[in-house]
Amino acid sequence: MGRTKKRKSNLVKLLLENWRNFVIFENIETATRLSIFDFDETIAFTTGVINVTDKTTGETFQTRTQEEYDEIKNDERYEFDFSPLDQVTDATENPNITSIMRDRLQDPDTQVMVLTARAPVSIDDIHRTLQTFDEPIETKSIVMIGNEGGNKGEYIRDVVLSKYNNIKEIEFYDDSNQNILDMQAVKNETSADGSIEKFDIYKVTEGIPKLQHSND
């Protein structure tokens, strides 16, 4: 019960912090496809750490890779500080993903979303970063959400799909195994109730997206 209340509280907090990223975008109310992209190690190769505190011992350490974070993100012993990721540093474009983003931005029936584990405060820096690529990405029509390490599948299901029932297709690009699993759970739910007609999930490994199948 406590964990459920905490998840709901976190979702409400994130919704309030990110609400301005929805209200100015009319296209999300009419789009039939939602294209969701992670930022770090997906749209761009970056450097950064997450500070971790073991609440039982007081020990502090850092995670430096997505795999290290995934191993402990659901362990309630740990408290996470994402503030080192508030600013984007040393970002290098991943053209395998940004080429897809640019294509989707040309489609009036598609809403592009950047859903990052960074905090909402980092969103302005991500906007600026995308506009500094060799071929700048115009970000004014992109919905950007800082999920602050939360469950991305739950966010899409409980915040986005619960409000925008016009979405019939989803594609999701992320480098995190845990995020892939969380989104796969949402895919299974929406496949069962028929609300989403096509749901493609891509695992990004060393910059290359690979379509995931249920047995991957």
pLDDT of residue 168: 96
Q: Are residues 158 and 67 in the same domain?
A: no
Q: Are residues 67 and 171 in the same domain?
A: no
Q: Are residues 57 and 117 in the same domain?
A: no
* 129-166 pLDDT per residue, tens: 999 999 999 999 999 999 888 899 999 999 899 889 99
Q: Are residues 29 and 101 in the same domain?
A: yes
Q: Are residues 63 and 13 in the same domain?
A: no
**Which pairs count as long-range contacts for 122-130, CB under 8 Å and 24+ apart, including other chains?**
122/85, 122/86, 122/87, 122/88, 122/146, 123/18, 123/21, 125/86, 125/87, 125/88, 126/39, 126/88, 128/88, 129/44, 129/88, 129/91, 130/43
Q: Are residues 78 and 119 in the same domain?
A: no
Find the helix or strand (DSSP H, E) in which 79 lies.
Answer: strand 78-81
CA nearest neighbour of 166 among 12, 27, 23 = 27
Considering the domain boundaries, does residue 216 fall inside one? Answer: no
pLDDT of residue 9: 54
Considering the domain boundaries, does residue 119 fall inside one? Answer: yes
Q: Are residues 78 and 173 in the same domain?
A: no
Contact 152, 118 (CB under 8 A): no
Considering Cα of 184, then 159, then 196, then 137, what sign does the dihedral take?
Answer: negative
CATH of the domain at 103: 3.40.50.1000
The number of domains in the chain is 2
Token pair of 172 as six digits:
């999701």
Q: Are residues 127 and 173 in the same domain?
A: yes
Find the helix or strand (DSSP H, E) in which 45 lies.
Answer: strand 44-45
* Residues spanned by the domain of 181: 2-46+87-211
Least confident of 58-62, 70-74, 189-193, 199-203: 70-74
In the block, which residue shows the tokens 């959400």? 145
Q: Are residues 58 and 156 in the same domain?
A: no
Query: Is a pLDDT exceeding 80 seen at residue 116?
Result: yes
pLDDT of residue 23: 47
Average of per-residue pLDDT across 163-180? 95
Q: Are residues 28 and 79 in the same domain?
A: no
pLDDT of residue 21: 53
Query: Is a pLDDT exceeding 90 seen at residue 6?
Result: no
